[in-house]
Amino acid sequence: MDDLDRFITGIPKAELHLHIEGSLEPELMFELARRNKVAIPFASVEDVRAAYQFSNLQDFLDIYYAGAQVLQTKQDFHDLAAAYFARARADGVRHAEIFFDPQTHTDRGIPFDVVIEGLLSGMAAVEGVSSKLILSFLRHLNEEAAFATWRQAEKWLDRIAGVGLDSSELGHPPSKFARVFAAAGEAGLKRVAHAGEEGPPAYVHEALDILHIDRIDHGNRALEDPALVERLAQSGMTLTVCPLSNLKLCVVGDLADHPIDRMLDLGLNATVNSDDPAYFGGYVAENYRAVAHARNLGKAQIVQLARNSFTGSFLSEAEIATHLATIEEFARQN
C-alpha cells in the first residue's frame, strides 16, 4: 500500500450511498442459504463471483434479487448489517447512511418489522460508526406498492431518516412517485433519489422539481446539461457518486474516463461511495483508491471528497463540524 492508499484508508469519511442488501458477500450468502435451507442458483462462492459480470443495471439487479432470497430472519439482517459496518470502520468510515429495500423482502413474505429490527440491531453492533437508515422504494413497482410499504413503515419513522428511490431507472421517472415522496416530506423525512445513472438529465430535473430531493444518488448524466450543472453547483446539492459501480454497470467504459474530478472542478458537491460493494468489487476505500489512481487525484482532492461526504450527510451542523475538524487534523498529520 503506497502513501496515497494509506491516506485514503485513514482519512475520516462518511458513506452516503450503500445498499445494505448489496453488501451481501458470497460467503455470507452461502452461510445464510445453509442456515435457512434456501436453494440458490450457484454451486460455490466462485460461481457467484463469476456471475458478477454485468452489461447494464438490469443484469446486476437480476442477481441482486436472487441473492436477497437467503435473508429470512432478524438474525440474518443483523449479520448483514454488522458485517458491512465492520468493513466500513476498517475503511475509515465514521458515519454511514444506508439504504434498505423492504419491498424486496415483504414481497416474499418477510415482515417489515423483521427486516428493520434486524438491521437496526446490526447497525448498533459495531462501535465507532454512527448511522442512519433510508427506506428505498423500488421504482419498477407502482406507487401504490410504495404507499403500502410507507404504511408499514409509519410506526418506525423515528428510526428512519429518509426515503429513497432505486432499482431499474429507465422507464421509471421520478415523477411516478410524486405523491409518496410528498407524504414523506410532510412527515419530516429527508428525500433522496437515484437519478442520472442510466436515466437522462430530465430525470434529475424531475427529482429536484417534483420529488424535492435533498440529495442526488449517482447524477453522472447531469453533466450533459450545463444549466443543470450550474444549478446543482449553486444550490450545493450533493451527488453520491459510485466509481466501481459506474465501471461494473458500464456507466463509464474505463475509470480513466470517470468524471469525479471534473465534478469537483465544476463546483459540484460530489462524494465517493460503494453502492453495492459485494457485487461491484470494493468497499468505499477501494472506490477512493481505484478512482484516485485512475484519475491521478491528489491528497487535496481526497480531502475535498471526504469533506463533501460529511457536508452532504444528514447529520446536525455540530456533528458535521466535529467530523470536518477531524479531517483537517488528519490532513495536517499526514
Taken in order of first residue, the domains within the chain and their CATH numbers are 3-333 (3.20.20.140)
Average pLDDT in the chain:
95
| Catalytic hit among 197, 198, 206, 286 | 197
Is 317 catalytic? The answer is: no
Q: Is 5 annotated as a binding residue?
A: no
The pTM of this model reads 0.95
Can you give the pLDDT at residue 55? 72
CA dist 239 to 16, 229, 264, 332, Å? Answer: 9, 11, 11, 27
Q: Sorting pLDDT into bands at 50, 70 and 90, what band is 2?
A: confident
Phi, psi of 237 (to 5 degrees): -65, 130
Can you give the pLDDT at residue 126? 94
Q: Sorting pLDDT into bands at 50, 70 and 90, what band is 50?
A: confident
Q: Distance between CA atoms of 299 and 183, rounded to whole angstroms?
A: 42
Q: Is 265 annotated as a binding residue?
A: no
Q: Sorting pLDDT into bands at 50, 70 and 90, what band is 42?
A: confident
* Contact of 149 with 137, CB cutoff 8 Å: yes
| pLDDT exceeds 90 at position 290 | yes
Q: Is 194 annotated as a binding residue?
A: yes
Instruction: Taking the CA atoms of 123, 237, 156 and 140 in sequence, report the sign of the dihedral they define.
Output: negative
Q: What is the mean pLDDT of residues 210-228?
A: 98
Stretch among 24-33, 228-237, 310-319 having the lowest mean pLDDT: 24-33
| pLDDT exceeds 60 at position 298 | yes
Q: Distance between CA atoms of 122 and 78, rounded to whole angstroms?
A: 4
The string of pLDDT tens digits covering residues 163-177 is: 999 998 999 999 999
| pLDDT exceeds 90 at position 216 | yes
**Residue 98: which of 197, 201, 203, 24 has the closest Cα?**
24
Q: What is the mean pLDDT of residues 288-313?
A: 98
Q: Sorting pLDDT into bands at 50, 70 and 90, what band is 205?
A: very high
| pLDDT exceeds 90 at position 150 | yes
Enumerate residues 6+ apart whose C-beta is below 8 A from 203.
169, 173, 174, 195, 196
The string of pLDDT tens digits covering residues 238-285 is: 999 999 999 998 899 999 999 999 999 999 999 999 999 998 989 999
Instruction: Taking the CA atoms of 162, 167, 173 and 178 in sequence, report the sign of the dihedral they define.
Output: negative
Q: Is 59 annotated as a binding residue?
A: no
Q: Is 17 annotated as a binding residue?
A: yes
| pLDDT exceeds 80 at position 1 | no
